[in-house]
């Protein structure tokens, strides 16, 4: 009798052991979450001084994540006027209609053949605070407009 109850105990243990192991799995704490998002509509009319005779337009989206990085995607929705080439983007602190100070230089490579670029930049706690509390705008320069081709206010959504 003892051997039968021992075998039953071993069988129950074999059936329950996988459940026990899976139920003790550690919680995954490596997940990264979005803290805040922005969308930017960039036009030549917002640049100071405004650029006349150009109709270039770009759109950008930004995601501030819990890993203290700002992820971004910038694109021009049509070819640039006069065979111009987009260069880099920078986020400035300042109100619409004023010249601000550089807050973040985006670490973007050259725009691709579709006039798109994406990337991420690591931020300090002070820059994150400024990004969250101050009025900011994005400006993208080009080979023909090194001081800024398009500009737009960062709108949180």
Per-residue pLDDT of the chain (157 residues; tens, 9 = 90+): 555 554 454 454 445 444 444 445 555 556 889 999 999 999 999 999 999 999 999 999 999 999 999 999 999 999 999 999 999 999 999 988 899 999 999 987 789 999 999 999 999 999 999 999 999 999 999 999 999 999 999 999 8
Q: Residue 106 CB: number of other CB atoms within 10 A?
A: 20
How far apart (Å, rounded) are the C-alpha atoms in residues 144 and 153?
A: 22
pTM of the model: 0.79
> What is the model's pLDDT at position 107?
81
How far apart (Å, rounded) are the C-alpha atoms in residues 38 and 119?
A: 15
Which residues pair with residue 64 across a beta bridge? 36, 70
Q: Residue 57 CB: number of other CB atoms within 10 A?
A: 17
What the chain holds in terms of domains, given with CATH numbers, is 34-156 (2.60.40)
> What is the model's pLDDT at position 7?
46
Asked whether the CA dihedral 33, 105, 52, 50 is positive or negative, the reply is positive
């Amino acid at each position: 009798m003892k051997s039968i109850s021992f075998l039953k105990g071993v069988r129950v243990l074999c059936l329950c052991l996988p459940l026990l192991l899976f139920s003790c799995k550690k919680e995954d704490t490596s997940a990264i979450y979005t803290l805040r998002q922005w969308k930017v509509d960039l036009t030549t009319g917002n640049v100071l001084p405004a650029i006349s005779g150009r109709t270039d337009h770009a759109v950008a989206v930004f995601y501030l994540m819990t890993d203290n990085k700002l992820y971004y995607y910038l694109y021009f929705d049509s070819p640039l006027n006069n065979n111009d080439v987009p260069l880099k983007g920078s986020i400035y602190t300042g109100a619409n209609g004023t010249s601000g100070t550089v807050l973040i230089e985006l670490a973007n490579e050259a725009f691709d053949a579709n006039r798109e670029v994406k990337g991420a930049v690591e931020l300090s706690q002070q820059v994150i605070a400024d990004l969250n509390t101050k009025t900011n705008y994005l400006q993208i320069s080009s080979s023909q407009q090194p001081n800024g081709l398009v500009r737009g206010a960062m709108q949180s959504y």
